[in-house]
Chains A and B, each alone.
Chain A
């Protein structure tokens, strides 16, 4: 976990790989190069932090296909697409598939490094969020069904009285439930609780089901 973030370079051209490694290492970043998408898939494991520099046109699995693969396997590593001939449809496809940036060869070193920095920051953020979401999920799992219900209603902006009447219990009971929810979710305020609910996709799904 303590490993520094790595820039994974996937390009079939050796000169490109070497030159990119040379360039990126000049700003003291960790670089690993792969000659094909397959080689990358075989060595990468999802826990590793970093970003992916991907050539679109490669023999075997193309860059876009690798992107599809990552998405299908829910690997959320940020991807920067590099291409020798930037045609618009391909760029659109790459961005739609969730690429962070799309850079044409030959590229401005400043631009490329900036893009990499941004991608790495994004990765850190994503990982944090992922961690947070997992934490929230475990907390949510600790709630009883009734507490879960109360939490959904509270985060949907319902007053205690409303909740009490719709659940057929006294307002005091709702109050108690709510206190326990706050405690179990480790939320200091209602705003925080709502934030958790949103990040757990709770509010949205429940309000939909209510409709």
Chain B
């Protein structure tokens, strides 16, 4: 029942447009707020006004009384003015009361001096004006009306000074004003007494600036609470009780300072009409109410307007959303153009979410199915991958391994699972690198390239070494990271790659010319090194060779036999090998730059020979010093041992065993010396004889070239004269060179003693006869004396400082071994000539000739 009811309301709401609804809501809420708040506010306001009124009444009462008292004071001043008026004084001067001692005079009129002296008095004329002497006796009484009582009752009240008081006599209030008349010499002192009725007029006059009709003043007898006089007798008649007026008037009673009476109390009362006050309050609260209503209205309007704007905007946005929703989701939902968009949208969103949930469930099911399928597929992929894949966890422990890996490395799954991969399958040398790579991939401190294709060596189950490329790819799962390690077996591929790479480089990097010519003689390929050849042929790549070479290529191709040709360029010599590739109809030309090679050959040959020389010479030079040192050692030791023995024997301090030991040492050292000498002999004499045929001229040239540097240093002019004919000899080349070098060295040394300009060395070869050829070594040195010549070939004879005296001795021995001889001719100051004579054999065939 209630749902039906609410449904009905809801339908009504749905049909209302959102801005209208918001407007209605605004107005309704504003109205409710006003209705609720207004009475409360009104009451408060009234209370406020009441308080305010009382305050104001008090203030007004104070004000009216002040005016009243002022008015009395004014009367006192009037009295004073009258008493000092010159007419009165003149009047008084004219007679003397005391002299005449007459009775009191009564006049039933105002005194003429009064009229003159006070024109305003006519408004409220005093009822009686009394002239009194100083004893208080009335001398002249001017009365406009009769007092209802004996005047003496008033006269008694004289306070003997100037004053103004209100008094109450027989229920009627009077104002009494006394004023001394200025005393003069010839006049009697007198007092003017004004008696004024305090009546309606007086009261009205006292309040000159009346507050309109709403405020009245009155005098009240406080004893019986009756009104004595009021400012408006018509409204408030005299003698009425004050309590009768409390309902219609607000009353405030005050005492009056100037009041003076014996029997009655007098109160000054201010009266404000309640009606007037109520009217005022009503007027003001009405105005306030109007104000509030206006404010509420403005508030409702502004508020509704803002809500309207906002809802209009929301409406717009919602419309857009629904339109977008329709476009984006393709859901059949009409775009809402009117009615309450929010509610409609809510319905629609509810429906949409329901659809969404079903869609998600379907999707989820489908996804799960697909994942299951993918997993099956993936595991199939994983297991059947051509690459070995091992999955590791973050600690590097194997958690999964595929079949290929097991097959490739021959490990069982059980062996690998739960173990560190590198400890089993990686070679010890590469383990740290593998760990490093894994560690870096875990920390992600390196780019993916670092974890890709790192070459390593793996070890199979049967201990074989396998070149692999190892890649690590992290797999980030929800709460952990796994690593797929791909181990690619590259042992075969690596080899092939290397070969291909080297092959590719073969031709292009070849420092020698490599060309390919096709059967038409066109240069199909030529590497950089072929440039000189191309220049020589005057053709470029892609052009045909000169005719001669074209024919050569054709013949090689036809015969299928490789051929080698030489080609002489300006400064280069090439050997070209033409190799036919018949199946492709190509001829490859491999060139070889001979120039460099020949030069290198020559140079190396030269180096070699120089080296040989150096060795030879150093053996001779070293021999002498080495011999000295070597022999010195055992000799010194022998001497030391012997001396030690002698000293011990002399002092008798040495034991027998000790001495014997020392003697044994002497023997040992002596044997060592003998050993050294034996070795020396073997070096010089017992060398196995080598004989080879040589041209003596060449030998001399070589020696000459070798001493060039030394001769140059010593500024020796070397002259070589070679025989025109070949002088073949059968010799040990090393030994003969040693002999010649020794002679030349000696000559150069000898020439150090003569002047630089005189230093000349001649090397000459010539044939002595059919059987003998000779070399002459002639110097321009100081020559030798006959005594020297006599011992020249003796062992250990030397003229040189530090010389061993072995050189010529050895030379002579060598020559004897060669069946030759060495002779010397020398004269002091003429120089020395050595003849080195060797046997020759014309039948000897020399290599290279």
Contacts and interface: CB of A to CB of B under 8 A. Distances in A.
Interface stretch (A11-19, A117-125, A135-143, A173-181): A11-19
Contacts of B640: 16, 19-20, 22-23, 109
A18 B663 CA distance: 12
B637 A84 contact: no
Interface in B615-647: 625, 628-629, 632-641, 643-645, 647
A13 B669 CA distance: 11
B668 interface: yes
A15 B665 CA distance: 8
A19 B641 contact: yes
Contacts of B189: none
Contact of B644 (A15, A22, A57, A107): A22
Interface string A9-51: 0000101101110110111100000000000000000000000
B672 A15 contact: yes
Contacts, number: 72
A142 to B, nearest CB: 50
B641 A23 contact: yes
Given A22-B641, A26-B654, A109-B647, A16 B628 contact: no
A96 interface: no
A93 interface: no
Interface string A81-98: 000110000000000000
A13, A19, A106, A109 — which one has the most chain B CB atoms within 10 A of its CB? A19
Interface residues of B, number: 26
A3 interface: no
A105 B625 CA distance: 14
Contact of A85 (B632, B635, B653, B669): B632
Given A22-B641, A23-B640, A109-B647, A15 B634 contact: yes
B633 A105 contact: yes
A109 B648 CA distance: 13
Nearest to A57: B629
Contact of B665 (A18, A84, A107): A18
A206 B643 CA distance: 53
Contacts of A25: 644
Nearest to B630: A84
A16 B633 contact: yes
Interface in B714-750: none
B636 A105 contact: yes
A93 to B, nearest CB: 18
Given A26-B653, A26-B654, A85-B625, A19 B644 contact: yes
A26, A84, A109 — which one has the most chain B CB atoms within 10 A of its CB? A26
Given A15-B672, A26-B647, A26-B653, A109 B665 contact: no
Interface in A53-109: 57, 84-85, 105-107, 109
Contact of B643 (A15, A23, A28, A105): A23
A84 B643 contact: no
Contacts of B647: 23, 26-27, 109
Contacts of A109: 639-640, 643-644, 647
Interface in A101-157: 105-107, 109
A105 B632 contact: yes
Contacts of A107: 636, 639
Contacts of B638: 19, 106
A90 B632 CA distance: 18
Contact of A106 (B639, B654, B668, B672): B639
A74 B625 CA distance: 35
A26 B636 contact: no
A25 B640 CA distance: 11
Contacts of A16: 633, 636-637, 640
A104 B44 CA distance: 142
Contact of B648 (A18, A26, A57, A85): A26
Interface of B: 625, 628-629, 632-641, 643-645, 647-648, 651, 653-654, 662, 665, 668-669, 672
Interface of A: 13, 15-16, 18-20, 22-23, 25-28, 57, 84-85, 105-107, 109
Given A16-B640, A23-B640, 9 more contacts: A15-B668, A15-B669, A16-B633, A19-B640, A84-B628, A84-B629, A84-B633, A105-B632, A107-B636
18 contacts: A13-B633, A16-B633, A16-B636, A19-B637, A19-B641, A19-B665, A22-B662, A23-B640, A25-B644, A26-B644, A27-B647, A84-B628, A84-B629, A84-B632, A105-B633, A105-B636, A109-B639, A109-B640
